[in-house]
Amino acid sequence: MPDETAEAARAIHEAKTDFDALPLADIPNYQIGRELGRGGMSVVYSAICEKTGEKVAIKILYPYYASNTDLVKRLQREIEVLRRVQHPNIVRYLDSGQRRSCCYYVMELLRGESLEQRIEREHRLPEKEAVRIILAVANGLAEAHRHAVFHRDVKPGNIFLADNGQIKLMDFGLAKDQTDAYQTQLGLVIGTPLYLAPEQARGEQNIDGRADIYALGITLYHCLTGHIPFENLSVPLILTKKTVTAIPSPKEWVPDLSDNVVEIIAAMCERDVSLRYPDVEILIEDLQRHLNNLPATWGRQIAQRRTVVGLPPQPVVTSSILGDPLLRSVIMDSRGLTETLHFPADHVLFFEGDTSKDVYLLVSGEVEALKAGIRIAVLNKPGTFFGEMSSLLGIPRSTTIRTRTEVHVIRIDHNTFANFLKSFPNLNYQLAVMLAERLQKTTEDYYELRNRFRSLARHFSIVHSLLRESEKD
């Protein structure tokens, strides 16, 4: 990993060095001024259009990346979106072109600061002002959605507050057109983790405008509280939390927020897509109603249908789970070593990164293992252990375990796990077999991936040789 990080840093340095050597005067019709900012793939300059005298901004892709088709496509997609979608709350596109290895586009020059900079300076914004900003952005998104364009990276850093009072949504480089097959690959996670909608976190296909509504809701949350849900967690755990839990109430940070704005945020950030605002137009109506001191309608309508948080587990033993002789003996003969529990569906037993070391034995029902919000396994065989690797190795949990149905489990305390295994040698053997099977599966996956990589390397070598021969000819 350190080598990869160093390589990435070298690439960015080379890209910037390469750009600094570029003769900017080669860009026709524009007098280049001072640098306004740099990112990982591009740099923005102020400029004057020689034809009109208008002050503009030019976004230029580093020449180092000119051969990177993915980044070039991203810039071209942004150009195409801005050309098609014209709205007062979206940065205005003016021109674009390519000169030698220099891809660029021209947009209106904005003076002011990003919403992110404003939040950093003031920590949080007054409720009415925050809602006005979000309403303006929602109007811009509504126009984009009418063109079947979804931004997919809405966040304070991509919202500009101009000195003249204008509010502009920027950076459509990750935008998705419904006809864009390039961006519909299964499992492609796109966007900024803290603002990502759960369906984006899971890498689902067919992401629509409701993902933008979720990200805009997190942005409103950030404006009002100065905080972002799950902000202090690792990226994998952030993605999992978005998938399996509701965001915490903003009133935990700012108790005097109105119930109305809290309901709006909850409806915008509902993890169940079917309960989220169905489109931006309905959201706009609620935001306008809030500014007019009227109650939001959508949030009230779905309040009773919103995601239900599971109840605390209650110990239970029923005759239906005593059919298996081994499980029956465990339940009846392990008093003091175990505890039998019942969990409702959609209940998280533990998250990845948790330091608890209890082991669970599945008696009935079905649970799933998640990593970074993505399901990696479903466990439904009675007698299956889970959580055992953490207990045996003394390490944090590597996955999240959530119930898919009502389940009965046996919880085995870490401190008595060894004694438990001694008391039930058959289960001890079953655990050993299970661990061996998982190790075998991991080994097989490793060799399969290694062979695939070697095959790709051979194909690359062949293609490279053919290209060199072609150049000689």
Mark whether 386 and 461 lie in a shared domain. Answer: no
Residue 326 has pLDDT above 90, yes or no: no
What's the domain range around 126? 112-302
Mark whether 146 and 258 lie in a shared domain. Answer: yes
Per-residue pLDDT tens over the stretch 144-193: 999 999 998 899 999 999 999 999 999 887 666 544 433 433 334 445 78
Q: Under a CB-based contact definition with an 8 Å cutoff, are residues 235 and 247 in contact?
A: no
Mark whether 156 and 288 lie in a shared domain. Answer: yes
- Residue 89 falls inside a structural domain: yes
Mark whether 283 and 329 lie in a shared domain. Answer: no
User: Is the model more confident about 286 or about 314?
Assistant: 286
Mark whether 445 and 415 lie in a shared domain. Answer: no
**Which contacts qualify for 413-419: CB closer than 8 Å, 24 or more apart?**
413/337, 413/338, 413/339, 413/358, 414/356, 414/357, 414/358, 414/359, 416/336, 416/337, 417/359, 417/391, 417/392, 419/337
Tokens 């050309």 belong to 83
Express as a percent the part of the chain with pLDDT over 90: 38
Which pLDDT value is given to residue 41?
75
Mark whether 188 and 251 lie in a shared domain. Answer: yes
Q: Give the list of residues 6+ apart from residue 338 with CB closer than 8 angstroms, or none.
A: 330, 331, 361, 410, 411, 412, 413, 420
d(CA 436, CA 192): 38
CA-based nearest residue to 330, from 230, 430, 464: 430
Mark whether 73 and 124 lie in a shared domain. Answer: no
The torsion angle over the Cα atoms of residues 75, 81, 82 and 88, rounded to 10 degrees, is -140
Mark whether 62 and 128 lie in a shared domain. Answer: no
CATH of the domain at 30: 3.30.200.20
Q: Under a CB-based contact definition with an 8 Å cutoff, are residues 217 and 227 in contact?
A: no
d(CA 203, CA 187): 4
Residue 308 has pLDDT above 50, yes or no: no
**Of 108, 133, 162, which residue constitutes the final position of a domain?**
108
**Of 251, 275, 302, which residue constitutes the final position of a domain?**
302
Mean pLDDT value of segment 399-428: 78
CATH of the domain at 389: 2.60.120.10
Which pLDDT value is given to residue 22?
53
Number of separate domains in the chain: 4
- Residue 308 falls inside a structural domain: no
Mark whether 293 and 415 lie in a shared domain. Answer: no
CA 110 to chain centre: 29
Token representation of residue 130 = 């925050």
Which pLDDT value is given to residue 226?
96
- Residue 471 falls inside a structural domain: yes
Mark whether 140 and 66 lie in a shared domain. Answer: no
- Residue 309 falls inside a structural domain: no
The DSSP annotation for 237-288 comes to: HHHHHHHHSPPPPGGGT-TTS-HHHHHHHHHHT-SSGGGS-SSHHHHHHHHH
**Of 54, 81, 108, which residue constitutes the final position of a domain?**
108
Determine whether 70 is an active site residue: no
Per-residue pLDDT tens over the stretch 34-69: 988 877 778 889 999 999 999 999 988 877 777 777
- Residue 254 falls inside a structural domain: yes
Phi, psi of 314 (to 5 degrees): -120, 130
The DSSP annotation for 141-206 comes to: HHHHHHTTEE-S--SGGGEEEETTS-EEE---TT-EETT-GGG--TT---S-TTT--HHHHTT-SS
Q: Give the list of residues 6+ apart from residue 46 with CB closer than 8 angstroms, or none.
A: 32, 33, 34, 36, 55, 56, 57, 58, 109
Query: Lowest mean pLDDT: which of 83-87, 156-160, 408-412?
Result: 408-412
Mark whether 91 and 117 lie in a shared domain. Answer: no
Res. 398 pLDDT band, cuts 50 70 90: confident
- Residue 330 falls inside a structural domain: yes
Residue 249 has pLDDT above 70, yes or no: yes
CATH of the domain at 172: 1.10.510.10
- Residue 237 falls inside a structural domain: yes
Q: Under a CB-based contact definition with an 8 Å cutoff, are residues 33 and 48 in contact?
A: yes
Task: List the catalytic residue out of 3, 18, 153, 208.
Answer: 153
Per-residue pLDDT tens over the stretch 201-246: 887 878 899 999 999 999 999 999 999 999 988 888 998 999 999 9
Query: Lowest mean pLDDT: which of 25-29, 102-106, 379-383?
Result: 25-29
- Which of the given ranges, 247-256, 363-372, 379-388, 451-460, has the highest pLDDT on average? 247-256
Per-residue pLDDT tens over the stretch 286-305: 999 999 999 998 866 766 56
Mark whether 157 and 262 lie in a shared domain. Answer: yes
- Residue 23 falls inside a structural domain: yes
| Spatial strand order in the sheet of 102-108 | 30-38, 42-49, 55-61, 102-108, 93-99
Q: Under a CB-based contact definition with an 8 Å cutoff, are residues 172 and 92 in contact?
A: no
